[in-house]
Structure 1
Amino acid sequence: MAKSFASRTYRDDAVVLRTHKLGEADRILVLLTREHGQVRAVAKGVRRTSSKFGARLEPFMVAELLLSHGRNLDIVTQAQTKGAYGHGIAADYARYTAAAAIAETAERLTDIDGDSAKAQYQLVIGAFAALSRGAHAPELILDSYLLRALATAGWAPSFTDCARCGAPGPHSAFSAPLGGAVCPACRPPGSASPSPETMALLAALLTGDWAAADESGPQPRHESAGLVAGYLQWHLERVLRSLQHVERV
């Protein structure tokens, strides 16, 4: 017996990570949902000017969706806006490029680690909300998100005690393969030697100490961005294309 329509549908909150065109009027969406993890779905007819919910399914938007299970892709049948973050983000290039890097990271992390998807969903919408209202410098919001997302996925870095032996810090060396700060005894050749101000900024971004992060200067921000990017690349085993377009101080 064929399944009823009700048994094939489900409702969930979702943030739109990425879209691409399908046919003449449809769009494929990569969604991160609150309860169902990463979902790929089709929104039919949303590229027509007469579409009732096309604008609700743009990148970085958060919506309550009604979806039905499909053979290969689910189908969006209803959409109600819950967070119109896309408008504020798209109006500013620095915010947009930071959001694109966040979305690419979230898509990658929830593709390889579905168990943390619910926590990753909360991190993404928090970052998009902060970007949309200009709460902090876009590059700081991005780096804070990246560190927290990696920590949520099980790769929490240390910026004080030695990541290898646990020796109390602070320490003056950083190794992405070893998990962050390393003491002189554990420091491998070629380790970075960030300034104390940079390590303090990284710790603030990881813990959400925005008072300290907002007061940081250009040099620690630039240095921390490189360390975060290297740490991200080491654990994802790939370079994020969107990071290349992020504006840095």
Structure 2
Amino acid sequence: MSGIDDLPPLRDVIASHGLTARKALGQNFLLDLNLTAKIARSAGNLSGKDVLEVGPGPGGLTRGLLASGARRVLAVEKDPRCLPALAEIAAAYPGRLEVISGDALALDPAEHLEPPYAICANLPYNVGTELLVRWLTPPTWPPAWDRLTLMFQREVAERIVAQPGGKAYGRLAVLAQWRTEAQIVMHLSPQAFTPPPKVSSAVVRLDALPEPRFPADPKILERVVAMAFNQRRKMLRAALKGLSPDIEDRLLASGIKPTERAEQVGIEAFCALARNVAAG
């Protein structure tokens, strides 16, 4: 028995089902159930709430979420080898775990979960950033989820919470912090995983704000920010020249010096520029 439920320890689960982490799937298994329970607790009070988990693998975090009181967990797993282990968890928590075999990028969680739901996942390294951007850019805001608790490579986590002025600050920071309260809540060393990755990891919690911090058209803001950071070494008057023939005037009207670079510009100023562009 493990410390959080009556199921076997994860090492035994992996051995009995012949599971080895596959690099091609971005897999690194977290085997310490005390750690997975801690990650689940960092997601806040899950009682009476549906939770989406992506890439559960052998189910360590899944068990933490269920033991923490989640009403229902929808686990999306691309690796069919993991399904028997997840089926054992589903049997131990009747009616509370639904496992979908497939690609999370092709899933609409709203078809399966009752909003507002939480998303909590040790994301596969190869799709983590893409999933985050999708969750941060839904057609309408506020989104169907109210909190994301996600594990990333530490470098990615630091980019999400970065402030203007540093190399880590970029498109991801603007997208995340414009609409959420983002913070790193946990650090994990490579030794916590099997096999140990070459980089450290961190858990980021993002709480959806009722409305964005500053008014702006999402698509225009995304375009402005992407152009600015795609050529981040250039001054903004050069990086954004394709945006408008009078870009210098627009930058000045938005309170931005045309000679500044993208990493020097805060979210409020980017939103002001997006509004200026939208005004034509």
Calculate the TM-score normalised by the size of structure 2.
0.27
Calculate the TM-score normalised by the size of structure 1.
0.29
